[in-house]
Structure 1
């Protein structure tokens, strides 16, 4: 004859303790009690240092490690350490390459469930994080945090070479390539390399002939969005670039830059034969014909 206790239901999968609110069932009464806090919002375990409160004692224990710096879960491969076991499990996927969370729409896979959740918003267009100042919305919380720095002027990411500062870490990473000369994005067709992935994407259109930006007025298409914007000005007649000295208006920025040389006297185009200089490249081309005629 053996004595029944609360441990026995674990062996026969019996779950006699049910939640009256959502119907979830549990093997142990104490687990049901902990579960009920999801519905009641009760958080009986408080941090004595910062006052944060938690519904489970284990969550409080994990939280304390933020203050103590304790990281008891260590990676056996690279010795990285973590405050929580879940952090170690996710980290291990960097070594195994495991990506258990897959997008049902496009098949992309991710090591973290949170990354999958953020990715799905590309398909749904959902942008749940909104700026309280200007109303701009974002699919990721980190993007909202970076955006808010436009309003506050905060630039916490500083270059250790030239001391330029930036709103977000990714912009700093791109900036540092100016100093290092690093160009990590390479074209598999011609071998050209680029500092930014977006520049490589634009470059690939040279090979593919892809022109994804189309004019709604005349159906002309372009490889770059900036080229489409410039083209549309021909239809609208808009001249958004103005000379600060004489007020002359231009459709294109390069036309304004060329015009400014009439005021500055700058002549950057030099004849290699006679040393004459010109403010416009077209003038140099015409001038070079005089040498060809003489020869």
Structure 2
């Protein structure tokens, strides 16, 4: 009980010591300089400027943290995986990736997140709110990070240039990730299969292939996906949206990678060659699929034990067990497990 009374007395003393009040919001502070710093949140005053990029901040500690984005200094290192961060708060949040702690849950779909900011961003996917708008073109985004990425599309916004190819970026960390394309550096590795990736989000998405976790669902057909970008591409099947158009023949596609594959038909380019037999292919995916013929690697169905040379074939086969038919005919109520079968069916309506 003595310990409780000591803390209560301390708290009362601290409350009594807060004699400096904000005239705008009535917040109280124990020191006049704390109040002075707080007032900048109302006035917008940012007296601390970065000598490198001219960004300004309301507090000197915020400027100090920002400067690390230029110098690359990351003084707070993780004891588990050696990842390093510019602030102690970022390190503490990172620690949850090891402990698995996700204390913030979505009341709509049940997904859990490590931080309140991630939860707030996620909720906007349900509400459709996009509070971050581009002053140049009016485009709006769910997260501030997405707006920053978008700003690269406008001239005069790119300060960090790649010495190898000349590409430029708005932020230093974007340049660092880009340079890995040239160096081949892939610092994020999967502990289960050894695959490595340039970016941590790519590793996170990859890990869901092992865990089977598919938290993103299609409202139209209930198909589930391991990451939101794949769901977004899938939704175009239902909407019919094809935003990527070929400049040669006018064909349009739902995905940019489909357009790139198509464009190689015009050039007859086949840059991916098999080291075993010399066969060449338009895409790396086709080459990888071809290599299974040489390696003899098989993919097994965990339900019936059937084996397949290609993972895509196994994936189609699994639909015979699940009964999933994601491709529906708009003319009648028929649905199919494969897109090719739907196309064949559509001919009876023509």
- TM (norm. structure 1) is 0.50
Q: Deviations over 1:36-73 (max 9, x none)?
A: 9969x8xxx987946989999xx8x9689569641122
1:79 aligns with 2:166: yes
Distance 1:176 1:87 in 2: 28
Change in CA separation of 1:80 and 1:64 when aligned onto 2, cut-off 3 Å: closer
What is aligned with 1:109? 196
Deviates more, 1:93-102 or 1:120-129: 93-102
1:145 aligns with 2:232: yes
Distance 1:220 1:127, change over 3 A: closer
Distance 1:55 1:223, change over 3 A: closer
1:100 aligns with 2:181: no
Q: Is the counterpart of residue 157 in structure 1 residue 157 in structure 2?
A: no
User: 1:127 — aligned with what?
Assistant: 214
The Cα offsets for residues 185-224 of structure 1, whole Å up to 9 and x where unpaired, read as 322221112234444345444444556578x99x886657
Residue 188 (str. 1) matches residue 275 (str. 2): yes
Unmatched tracts of structure 2, length 5 or more = 1-58, 65-74, 76-87, 94-114, 121-130, 318-350
Report if aligned partners of 1:100, 1:109 keep a CA contact under 8 Å in 2.
yes
| Aligned partner (choices 263, 276, 290) of residue 176 of structure 1 | 263
Q: By how many angstroms is 1:109 displaced?
A: 1.8
1:30-69 residue pairs with structure 2 within 5 A? 49=135, 65=151, 69=155
Tell me by how many angstroms 1:131 deviates: 1.1
Gaps of 5+ in 1: 1-5, 24-35, 231-295
d(CA) in 2 for partners of 1:92, 1:115: 16
Distance 1:122 1:63, change over 3 A: closer
Q: Superposition RMSD on alpha carbons, in Å?
A: 4.9
> Are the aligned partners of 1:37 and 1:55 in contact in 2 as well (CA < 8 Å)?
no
Contact 2:161 2:169 in 1 (8 A): yes
| Pair 164,53 (structure 1): closer, same or farther in 2 beyond 3 Å | closer
Alpha carbons of structure 1 residues 202 and 95: separation in structure 2 relative to 1, 3 Å = closer
Q: 1:104 is paired with a residue of what secondary structure?
A: coil
How is 1:213-232 mapped onto 2 (pairs within 5 angstroms)? 223=309
2:297 and 2:142 mapped to 1: Cα distance?
54
User: How far 1:88 moved relative to its partner?
Assistant: 1.7
Write the distance in 1 (CA, Å) between the matches of 2:306 and 2:143: 61
Residues matched between the structures, number: 196
Q: Which has the larger radius of gyration?
A: 1
SS for the counterpart of 1:134 is: coil
2: CA distance, partners of 1:76 / 1:205: 38
Give, in whole Å, the separation in 1 of the partners of 2:168 and 2:263: 28
Once residues 226 and 51 of structure 1 are traced to their aligned partners in structure 2, the CA distance between those partners, rounded to angstroms, is 40
